[in-house]
Structure 1
Amino acid sequence: MSTDPTAADDWKRWHEQRVETVSAPHGPLSLTGTHWLADYPEGQLPAIPGQWAEDGDEVVLRAVAEDGLTLDGDPFGGEVRLGADSGPAASRVALGERRLMVMRREGEWAVRDFDPGSPARRAFQGIEATPYDADWSVPGRFTPYESRSTIQVENADGRARGLGLGGELAFTVEGVGHTLKVTVEDDGSLWAVFADASSRQGSYRFRFLRTPAPGADGQVSVDFNRVTLPPCAFADHFICPFPPPGNTLPFAVDAGERNLDGRSSV
């Protein structure tokens, strides 16, 4: 193991912040349901009051004051048209401490229920992560595709959805070259969904790798120390994409987040 004291301290702070983020009152551990409106044509969602219906580019919510819902922090009764929320913290509708987040995926609308009192949040013991090792931070090169493409991959809920891919990230580990297909985010950073030889054998079944935006020459740092668990490792109601074909590395990535403390690899 190779260590850099400054980098190791930075990693420790990053890890502590990750634990705080996922265990926050409305963090990933608090998600108790993702309810697709198309599955509830009558508009009544499980354990959520009011009547919810999709109407083109909006969701229509009808409720009475007795339902106990709030809208933008105020008691709500009547009808309101809602767009997609950027996250639970930005959700307009709440029920007590629960945040009811409106979301849209590939034209389909859903309501997510974030409950600070969720069993997963109460049972959380921490994130199992490998201490920083400088050998797992390697140089990489990004090569964009001539045009971005979308492929269908299975998601954690058993459905196939589109995953946008913008190029390939090349790097070398122990003298052997490897590549991962990556998504290019709006800010230019890269995101890869990958599995490796440790998946289900000491690590979660797949993980996420993120890098900064590459330089003009495609050069970018690839730091496996900051590999993260996908949201579906924290709650079963996320719809994380599985790795696309070709994104299973033949070696064990013994770095970054590995699993939840107290939980076996799944």
Structure 2
Amino acid sequence: MTTQTPEITRLTERWDRFRSGRTAALAADHGWLTLTSFHWLPATPSPVEGVPGLWSATSTTASLTAAPEENLALVSSGEPVLGTLTATLTNEDSLMWVRSGTVVVELGMRANRYMIRTRDSASPTLTNFQGVPFFDYNPEVVFDGVFERYPEPRSVDIATANPEVPGVARLVGDVVFEHLGTTYRLSAEEGPLDSLILTFFDETNNVTSSHWRKLELTKPRPDNSVVVDFNRAINYPSAFTDFGTCPAPVPANRLDLPMEAGERDPRRS
């Protein structure tokens, strides 16, 4: 049994706030819990199942043609879509483009192809959501680590949650820490505000946790030290929905142990 010291109490209170913020973010009206379909856009104007209008794309431009009675409106302004509308994105970009009732249609480019995803605020995944299941807080999986930056970033081809969408990880360095006498080294991508993103496998995957998870670390200190707190490991959107295109870890980012901390698989709870 872990003794409840003042330091552990402080850490668990911070973790409780983190969990509350995470739940609130996931419960957004058209957030990740509302994805209900994924479609590649065809080359010629065609209907798409479950979405009004005629949709198409070239290698550079996506197009939508809608009649007044189809009641499509721009998300950005609320103006009705009348006639043909076009948009141009770069790879990996997304745009919450048009709305139909409770559904927002997200336009995106993945693997240099245009796709649309529907986000329905009436989705049962959202309306039945009561929080993500998670392991109990464990102070023994909070590690002092060191960030070792590469001389230059490295681009590595990776898989994603969608077999039709290849991905690329832009790695900036390794996070190194020790646990039970073993040294672990996980490659990191750079996140917002110079944070570090660790996408990793462990032995709980597809048992009690989802197919893989990620952990965001705050910006390294001036001496390159970092805190690696696996209690904050979270699911990618693809843990909740079949319509995510989330990046898989690079193969080397594998912990040969069950990391029973952070978020569990929401579809196994």
Unmatched 5+ stretches in structure 1 = none
- What SS is found at the alignment partner of 1:259? coil
* Distance in 2 (alpha carbons) for counterparts of 1:76 and 1:140: 52
Q: Which amino acid aligns with 2:247?
A: P
1:213 lines up with 2:223 in the alignment: no
Corresponding position of 1:185: 191
Q: Paired residue for 1:227?
A: 233
Q: Which residue of structure 2 lines up, in the alignment, with residue 18 of structure 1?
A: 22
Name which of structure 1's ranges 3-12 and 65-74 shifts more when overlaid on structure 2: 3-12
Per-residue CA deviation, residues 176-219 of structure 1 (Å, 9 max, x unaligned), is 21011111125321112111122223222211111112133322
Distance (whole Å) between structure 1 residues aligned to residue 208 and residue 216 of structure 2: 21
TM-score (norm 2): 0.87
Say if 2:67 is the partner of 1:64: yes
Change (3 A) 1:128 1:6: same
- Cα RMSD of the aligned pairs, angstroms, is 2.4
Specify which of 97, 103, 116 is matched with residue 108 of structure 2.
Answer: 103
Correspondence 1:192-203 to 2 at 5 A: 192-203=198-209
Q: CA deviation at 1:29?
A: 1.2
Higher deviation after alignment, 147-156 or 203-212: 147-156
CA shift, 1:220, in A, is 1.4
Matched residues in 2 for 1:150 and 1:36: separation?
Answer: 26
Listed one character per residue, the Cα deviations across residues 84-113 of structure 1 (whole Å, up to 9, x for unaligned) are 59998x724111121111112242221121
- 2:10 corresponds to: 6
Q: Which has the higher contact order (CA 8 A, sep 6+)?
A: 1
Query: Is 1:29 the equivalent of 2:29?
Result: no
- Determine whether 1:255 maps to 2:241: no
Conserved? CA contact 1:2–1:135, under 8 Å? no
Cα-to-partner distance string for 1:92-141 (whole Å, 9 max, x where unaligned)? 41111211111122422211210011232244343111232222221111
SS in 1 for 2:228: strand
Alpha-carbon offset, residue 24 of structure 1: 2.5
- Supply the distance in 2 between the matched residues of 1:76 and 1:2 (Cα, whole angstroms): 61
Q: How far apart, CA to CA, are the structure 2 residues paired with 1:93 and 1:28?
A: 17
Provide the residue aligned with 2:135 in structure 1: 130
Alignment of 1:117 onto 2:122 = yes
Question: Normalising by the residue count of structure 1, what TM-score does the alignment of the two structures yield?
Answer: 0.88
Q: Distance in 2 between matches of 1:231 and 1:128?
A: 14
| Contact 1:83–1:102 (Cα < 8 Å) also in 2 | no
Q: For the Cα contact (< 8 Å) 2:161–2:247, is it kept in 1?
A: yes
Partners of 1:210 and 1:11 in 2: how far apart?
14
Instruction: Give the paired residue count.
Output: 261
Higher mean C-alpha deviation, range 67-76 or range 143-152? 143-152
- Where 1:52 maps in the other structure, the secondary structure is strand
Alignment partner of 2:194: what SS?
A: coil
Q: Is the 8 A contact 1:37 1:52 kept in 2?
A: yes
1:58 deviates by 3.6
Tell me the percent identity.
Answer: 28
1:251–1:187 distance in 2 versus 1, CA, 3 Å: same
Contact 2:71–2:80 under 8 Å retained in 1: yes
Measure, in 2, the Cα distance between the counterparts of 1:2 and 1:177: 26
Which letter does structure 1 place at the counterpart of 2:35?
Answer: L
| Partner Cα separation in structure 2 for residue 188 and residue 25 of structure 1 | 28
Deviations 1:127-157 (A, max 9, x none): 1112322222211111122222222222112
**Structure 1 residue 55, shift from structure 2 partner:** 4.3
Q: Distance in 1 between matches of 2:98 and 2:21?
A: 27
